[in-house]
Amino acid sequence: MSVIKVKGKGTWQKVWNERCDVSHRSLYPSFQKVIGIMIKVRKTIPVALAIIVSAVPYNTPSKHAIAQMSDLKGAKYSSDIGGLNAEIRRNPKSPDAYLKRGKFYLNTFEDDLAMSDFDRAVALAPSYSESYFVRGELFKNMGEFDKAIRDLKVAATSPDRRLASISLRLLAGCYGEKHEYTKAADIMTQAISKGYTKQLGLRDRAVFHFRDKKYSEAISDVNDIQASELGGDTILLRANSRRELGQYKSAIEDYGLAERLFQKARGGATMSAPDWKKLRETMQGRVDCLKKMGNSVAAARESVSMEKMEKAVLQQTPFRGEGGL
């Protein structure tokens, strides 16, 4: 079953396209929520209905999903935006009023309107850190990384340590998107020192180190994360780092642990394309390590097992999308 991908740099387009690979039936409501919002605020009904028809589970009648999404302008939406507009009329020079409405537009995926309100908030209060933060975050989501960096640098100077730490985390992400991984890792260190959650900060910094080919630093960061906070993705990153350093035996152990964590997280749900990509990476990692260790027999056996599993996944996955298997 195919999926229609959509063009554009806005948040809702990004959210939709990121979910095109997902085949967990439990996540289909996410598809429907995104398209429901799209219908409400964009009124692109023919495209939206076409996407819903392609995205709903094969065992769910399309007309039922379409009926759920057919409320073009809900009463709550009208009530909420009406109240926010009234607040701005009462306080036309209040940056907080524009921030509130901008955040509402952001949550309803109306990026252009949100940006306009954030611009107005910055103009009304040039020293107000939160205005720069929300606008910088929106710029980042839109892929405008240089503009995001400009705003987030201002937000990061806030005396509010929480706001400053989150701003630094987003700032590090912007530099990561620009492939400036050393700078991204350094800024993430600052974020941690400002109070950003250490476990998450270490995980993000490990990713930057890995992409910067600083594999020992990546391993060190993963090792510093509490065991209870380690997920399959983080263990997989450590496994790949160890493989790059020639630590093949340790890498194989980590690939096995990552696979178990992925399977545990998935539970009994049907395997999706992203699930399989992660699982396949762990198996391919073991194959590569076994070959490097000269164990061609075990490598061949692992390759056969991987091919069999891929065929099984292809047969059982009802919805894969363009970016699928």
5-23 mean pLDDT: 48
Q: Is 120 exposed, middle or buried (0-12, 13-18, 19+ CB in 10 A)?
A: buried
**Domain boundaries defined on the chain:** 11-68, 232-325
**Contact criterion met (CB below 8 Å) for 2 and 324:** no
Which tokens hold the place of 260? 């178990």
Angle, CA of 94, 96 and 102, to the nearest 5°:
110
The set of residues, in sequence order, having a beta carbon less than 8 Å from that of 113 and lying 6+ positions away, is: 102, 105
**Cα–Cα distance between 73 and 13 in angstroms, integer?**
20
Spatial CA neighbour of 233 closest among 167, 281, 272: 281
Residue 318 has pLDDT above 80, yes or no: no
Highest mean pLDDT among 68-77, 109-118, 135-144: 135-144
**Contact criterion met (CB below 8 Å) for 227 and 202:** no
Residue type, 178: K
Q: What is the 3-state secondary structure (H, E, C) of 274-322?
A: HHHHHHHHHHHHHHHHHHHCCCHHHHHHHHHHHHHHHHHHHHHCCCCCC
33-41 mean pLDDT: 52
Angle, CA of 91, 96 and 97, to the nearest 5°:
45
**Cα–Cα distance between 315 and 48 in angstroms, integer?**
28
Give 263's pLDDT tier (boundaries 50, 70, 90).
confident
Lowest model confidence (mean pLDDT) among 2-16, 178-192, 272-286: 2-16
Residue 21 has pLDDT above 60, yes or no: no
How far is the CA of 153 from the CAs of 101, 134, 169, 183, in angstroms?
Answer: 24, 12, 11, 13
Whole-number pLDDT of residue 321: 39
The fold of the 232-325 domain, in CATH, is 1.25.40
How far is the CA of 223 from the CAs of 191, 198, 217, 242, 292, in angstroms?
Answer: 19, 13, 10, 12, 24
**Contact criterion met (CB below 8 Å) for 278 and 261:** no
Lowest model confidence (mean pLDDT) among 127-141, 142-156, 219-233, 300-314: 300-314
**Contact criterion met (CB below 8 Å) for 309 and 317:** no
304-318 mean pLDDT: 75
Q: CA neighbours within 13 Å on the CB side: how many for 113? A: 15
Percent of residues, the chain, with pLDDT higher than 90: 55
